[in-house]
Structure 1
Amino acid sequence: MGSFNTSFGEGFILVGFSDWPQLEFILFIYISLFYSLTLIGNTTIIVLSQLDPRLHTPMYFFLCHLSFLDLCYITSTVPQLLINLSGLDRTISYGRCVAQLFFYLALGSTECVLLVVMAFDRYAAVCRPLHYTAIMNPLLCHSLAIAAWVGGLMNSLIQTSLMMAMPLCGLHYLNHFFCEMLVLQKLACEDTGGTEAKIFVARVIIIVIPAALILGSYAHIAQAVLRIKSMSGRRKAFGTCGSHLLVVCLFYGSAMYTYLQPTGSYSESEGKFVALFYTIIIPMLNPLIYTLRNKDVKGALWKVLGRGRDSG
């Protein structure tokens, strides 16, 4: 850890998208827009879930946590990126870099676990409809939410500690727009195979195991849905699960593509553009995916906007 501090005490220069100067202004405009939409969309879901009694259900309780997570997740990287794109400041101190790495990993890891919890909620709703309210009682919901946050924080603590123990040297340039673990690992100045293996195991635990649990839940859900005789019943079951499944595919697809490849084969230039997708696009899409296909949320929104009086 000492060598990290001595050689990188003054911090890093984040290269960001300065390799493509013609892209920087366009990216600044689009990312500012996407960031604003994400803040509005996720805040709207949280507010509506609190205001409308019809949304006081386990599904919306977890959706609130997901929205809050996405707000924090995008805020852990995007303000820094916007400053970088504007050319005002491309530096990040050692302390801020470690803090950003920790929070970014913690929020991403928490989302991995939370999506499993949401899959379990859908499993209980579709496969055990008569016992759903008894199974998904408030105590269990709160316990599962706390478990997701604690699990995410623990995984991040392990990965960040392992990263900080690596002696880093070479240039102070990080070829990314935030302190991404894979880019920091490339700065290791001695053979760190043992540490890298431990970090990889931590990644597998937080990505592969939750993904396998979600697939298991959906295998049971698919069997239950196929047993439903009525077409409208099937449509309703697919409707409640389709949104979650789409979010899962987007999130886990990009996480597996990025983090389950060997560090040596990681392309920094390509990695930056993939990172834009999972740090900005997915948090923006989540509220849209859940609300556009959802009558309850749309109903709550019209009610808050005063349209409910007209229809009532």
Structure 2
Amino acid sequence: MSPDSKIYIAGHKGMVGSAIQRQLEALGFNNIITRSRQELDLLNQAAVAEFFIQEKPAQVYLAAAKVGGIVGNNTYPAQFIYENLTIQNHIIHNAYLNGCKKLIFLGSSCIYPKMAPQPMVETELLQGSLEPTNEPYAIAKIAGIKTCESYNRQYGVDYRSVMPTNLYGTNDNFHPQNSHVIPAMLRRFHEATESNASEVVVWGTGKPMREFLHVDDMAAASIFVAQLAHDKYEALVDPRCSHINVGSGIDCTIRELAETIAKVVGFKGDLVFDISKPDGAPRKLMNVDRLKDLGWSSQISLEEGLQQTYSWFLENALQLREA
């Protein structure tokens, strides 16, 4: 891709999309196309078709999606499957119709079976039942992978899929009720420090193991995969199992995560683990050998990434609290 190649980022205001935009701009790409939800409704087929006819991007990063936690997935399953299928179908199909040869589809590690062996390798896709709480969302993401593979086979385009582990970082959601584990803990420990609380309660036993990846690493991996030479990509990726796991390849216990966050925030009190609350799966770790074989590994350590994320939270704390 040349610096003036037209690149469309769908979902540029989200955590991943905004990170991709920052990194592309830092790399010197100067023809990045974005549209807010108010400017372009991705659920509107005619509007998306007209946008692609007018803009004809050479490359697309498909980071737009309806996302949420367990409560959202359980409460709005129809919206999660319909909106995600609709958004990705509109973008992928119209990219093809308008000559876009390169597209990166961003998925999620929830595509893998609930009981997949750890660490989860790409070939575990469709080998078992999904986690029921986010099944509609996972099915939509699986459909996105298979849509890209099908368009590659039938139309000769080069549409690639990347599946991230648990992400955190700049522009994360710090809402007290519906944020994920790292932003939720950062906010809770910060508020405990401010109020001189003697303890912070963490759900579960602290024993489950989880993998985390800073969003800037995710953006770097997405751009790396997009720019990878076609022959090198094809040599290492099965066309019928073409998605690529993106993670650090390193996990930690929830207790270790809580202790690191306490250190980053400066909390001096006690950690109390509420064993009446559920632990969830004992381990969720991505196998990232395929990505390493292609030539990319994560660069941001968990503590370094938490420091950066906490600094961003402090700079935006007032705005986030009012949200």
TM-score, normalised by the number of residues in structure 2: 0.29
Q: Which has the higher strand share?
A: 2
Larger C-alpha radius of gyration, 1 or 2?
A: 1
The structure showing larger relative contact order (alpha-carbon pairs under 8 Å, at least 6 residues apart) is 1
Q: TM-score, normalised to structure 1's length?
A: 0.30
